[in-house]
Amino acid sequence: MTTELASTPAPDMSASPPRRPWDFDRLLPYLLVIPAALALALVSIYPIYEAIKASFTKYLYGRPVGSAGFSNYIDVAHDPVFWQSMGTTVEFVLLAVTAETVLGLALALLVINEFKGVKFVRLSILLPMTIAPVVVGVIWRLIYSSETGFVDPLFVALGLGAPRVLSHETSAFVGLVVVDIWEWTPLLFLIALAGLQSIPQEPLEAAAVDGAGPVRIFFQHTLPLLIPILAVGVILRLIDAIGTFDQIYVLTRGGPGTATQLISIYAYNTAFNFTDYGHGTAMLIALLVFVSLLILVAVALMRRAAARTS
């Protein structure tokens, strides 16, 4: 009996317990996402589905009268005003996002170091981003107004004459770009500041020891490390700026003429003012496809850049 007990092998305590067919710990993150996914489906996916369905429907005086097939998309492709609005949108986005990126990075570099009152300065820079876009439009409409604003009196005091910003095509377009820069530069500033604070300091200190100046350190070390982070912010702003609507609707509604008629304004006017819902939704679906392709290209470029740096 003693021999039999001695020869019996001891159980292996290090062996892992048998895996259950399903693991609750692994499923838990996906279960927690379900409520948010359902909410997203209700407020986003369902309207997109209805828009796609409307883009294949023919409307007469705002009422569906049958299937339109691809005729709405064919009309969009041959619509010169659509392409003019797309060109205006691209010009607006490029000017605004480029200026916002440069200014946001410059402001982040100015307040990256600690000094007295730096928290107040950072908070002040972020304030415009917290204001609702419609309110921003109302504020700047008052600023540009020839009666209550200070832009015209300022130019008159300088002897330059009242510009009447919203009354001329070029000045109205530039005025809208300025509004967008004022409102959304804080977003790029916040992303750039967070990126600068997360950059490891060892390479920068080593470069300084080797005799590199601040400008050389920035362009050879800081900026390459910061580009992937800035790219995320730029992509977010590109997507958001393409669909800019609130400020433009409040300020100019696409005028004077069609100088500030972005694709969002033109689609709105087509769908709701002219009750051509099929043509208007076809424009927005085409814009959605364009933005999706832009995102895919941007993500591919970011991955390629990350692979090169690694």
> Structural domains in the chain?
87-261 (1.10.3720.10)
Tokens describing residue 25: 């710990």
Is pLDDT above 50 for 5? Answer: no
Question: What dihedral do alpha carbons 268, 248, 108, 211 form, nearest 10°?
Answer: 90
Is pLDDT above 50 for 1? Answer: no
Q: How far apart are CA 188 and CA 107, in angstroms?
A: 10
Q: How far apart are CA 264 and CA 244, in angstroms?
A: 7
Q: Could you tell me the pLDDT band of residue 252, with boundaries at 50, 70 and 90?
A: very high
pLDDT at position 308: 67
SS3 assignment, position 59: strand
Tokens describing residue 146: 């020839």
Mean pLDDT is lowest, of 8-22, 116-130, 151-165, for 8-22
pLDDT at position 28: 83
Q: Could you tell me the pLDDT band of residue 22, with boundaries at 50, 70 and 90?
A: low
The residue that leads in pLDDT, 249 or 206, is 249
pLDDT at position 72: 93
Contact status, residue 228 vs residue 306, Cβ threshold 8 Å: yes
Task: Give DSSP secondary structure letters for 214-277.
Answer: HHHHIIIIIHHHHHHHHHHHHHHHHHHHHT--HHHHHHTTT-STTTT--HHHHHHIIIIIS--H
SS3 assignment, position 61: coil
Q: Which residue has the tokens 């019996």?
A: 8
Mind listing the pLDDT tens digit for each residue in 36-51? 888 887 888 888 889 9
Q: Could you tell me the pLDDT band of residue 263, with boundaries at 50, 70 and 90?
A: very high
Q: How far apart are CA 95 and CA 88, in angstroms?
A: 11
Q: How far apart are CA 198 and CA 226, in angstroms?
A: 9
Q: How far apart are CA 234 and CA 94, in angstroms?
A: 11
Is pLDDT above 90 for 78? Answer: yes
Q: Which residue has the tokens 């402001």?
A: 107
Tokens describing residue 292: 């999706």
Q: How far apart are CA 251 and CA 249, in angstroms?
A: 6
Closest by CA position to 287, among listed 91, 83, 98, 44: 83
Q: How far is CA 199 from CA 56, 74, 194, 216, in A?
A: 50, 50, 9, 16
